[in-house]
Homo-oligomer: A and B are copies of this chain.
Amino acid sequence: MKTFNHLLRTAVLTVAFAIVAPSAMAQGLDVPSRNLPVPDSVSPQIQKLIAAPRRAGWDVLPKTGQEWKPVAEAAAAGTLKALPGLIDRMKVRVEKTTFDGVRAFIVTPERVGADNLNRVLIHMHGGCYVLSPGEAGLPEAVMMAGLGGFKVISVDYRMPPEAYFPAALDDGMAAYKHALKTTPAKNIAIFGTSAGGALTLEMVLRAKQLGLPMPAAIAPGTPMSDVTKVGDTFYTNEFVDNVLVSRDGFCDAGAKVYSAGHDMKDPLISPVYGDMSGFPPTILTSGTRDLLLSNTVRVHRKLRQAGIEAVLQVYEGQSHAHYLRDDSAPETREVFAEISGFFSRHMGK
């Protein structure tokens, strides 16, 4: 009898073989220029995000941590201006703290969910390993706390020029170890988007290396899981995604500066190449226009091939992390409801 596991093992072995086989395919597909209308199949809020022009300065590529600093500060200004309103709408309290030398924010909802009293989430913010320092990294944590009713520790990890690979990962691990002192792993989940999604995966890989217990669940949103330019949507969604725009844009330039010459194929910076056996249940989020859709679905397949419960959510028309842009959009509410529900089903009480 052919069982599911047998079939999946066969698939995994064959894929493993295929990866080492050399590709003889050089030819590509020529695609003509096109105008992409704003779809009717999403809410007006998401339509507005889709209709926005490409990110200004997407092709500005700072080459050092020092060059990134003013870029990051300028990008943070808008976020910081909008943050008080978001905190107010989400009815959360934010406290600045440090533990073991690591900076973080504790985000606590006015009403913690009854099932969530003994649970804590660790949040790793996005920003290509160089953007969203300090409070600018908070919006996703604030939405998760407010919409999900969870207590969230948002890690203000070190970034260039303060520190380089693996500083962000080390700070995330320090936060995880700190949480483990007071909370069992089964009551901890980790989440984040973009670089934060990659860091979420990297933290699980690192926890495995260190023999730490696995968190109950993780939610990597559109993770930068491959910084080596492998992935089909780096090409198909180039100039289609109005946030990242291109693999040859600002975001991978940030990852390159953070890596400081470290091998980009190391699973601790390109986690799609990691061994995902033993991973906790995982919920992944992306969009049909997302430059990192391939980065997301490739992680999904790797997890499934390793026999892990892994759930994929792809939102219509959205570019990279559009779901974090407007807390009034029904799709944003839906993303956080899916993640909260997934966490609740997998976390202890």
A residues contacting B by CB (< 8 A) are: 1-4, 7-8, 10-12, 14-15, 18, 21, 23-45, 47-48, 50-51, 54, 111, 113-115, 147-149, 230-233, 235-240, 242, 288-289, 293-294, 297-298, 300-301, 304-305, 311-317, 330-331, 333-334, 336-338, 340-341, 344
Decide if B1 touches A149 in the complex (CB within 8 Å).
Answer: yes
Q: How far is the CB of A48 from chain B (nearest CB, A)?
A: 7
State the oligomeric state as a number of copies.
2
Give the Cβ gap from A11 to chain B, nearest Cβ, in Å: 4
Q: Which residue of chain B lies nearest to A51 when distances are taken between CB atoms in the complex?
A: B25
| Distance A1 CA – B18 CA, assembled complex (angstroms) | 49
**From A4, A29, A111, A240, residue with most partner B Cβ within 10 Å:** A29
A17 to chain B, nearest CB (A): 8
The interface residues of chain B lying within 8 Å CB-to-CB of A337 are 4, 7-8, 10-11
Assess whether B288 is in contact with A233, with CB atoms less than 8 Å apart.
yes
* A33: chain B residues within 8 A (beta carbon): 30-33
Q: Which chain B residue shows the least CB distance to A10?
A: B333
* Given A30-B35, A41-B230, A147-B2; A8-B288 close (CB under 8 Å): no
Whether A36 contacts B240 by the Cβ 8 Å rule is no
Q: A312-B312, A333-B7, A336-B7 are in contact. Are A48 and B36 (CB under 8 A)?
A: no
A174: min CB distance to chain B, Å: 30
Candidates B38, B293, B297; contact of A28 at CB < 8 Å: B38
Contact A41 B294 (CB under 8 A): yes
Asked if A7 and B340 make an inter-chain contact with CB atoms under 8 angstroms apart, the answer reads yes
What is the CA–CA distance of A289 and B29 in the complex, to the nearest angstrom? 12
Question: When the two chains form their complex, are residues B288 and A18 in contact, meaning their CB atoms are under 8 A apart?
Answer: no
Chain B residues near A236 (CB-CB < 8 A): 36, 236-237, 240, 288-289
Residues from chain B with Cβ under 8 Å of A3 in the complex: 113
Contacts of A43 in B (CB 8 A): 14-15, 18
Residue of B nearest to A298 (CB): B316
Top 7 A-B pairs ranked by shortest CB distance?
Answer: A4-B341, A7-B337, A14-B330, A18-B43, A25-B38, A11-B334, A232-B317
Partner of A38, one of B27, B44, B147: B27
Chain B residues in 8 Å Cβ range of A40 = 23, 230
User: Closest B-chain residue to A16, C-beta based?
Assistant: B330
A337 to B288 alpha-carbon distance, docked (Å): 25
A239 contact set on B, CB distance < 8 A? 29, 31-32, 34
Cα distance, A316 to B304, chains bound together (Å):
14
Contacting pair B288 A235 (CB below 8 A): no
CA distance A304 to B334 in the complex (A): 9
Assembled-state Cα–Cα distance A10/B236 (Å): 34
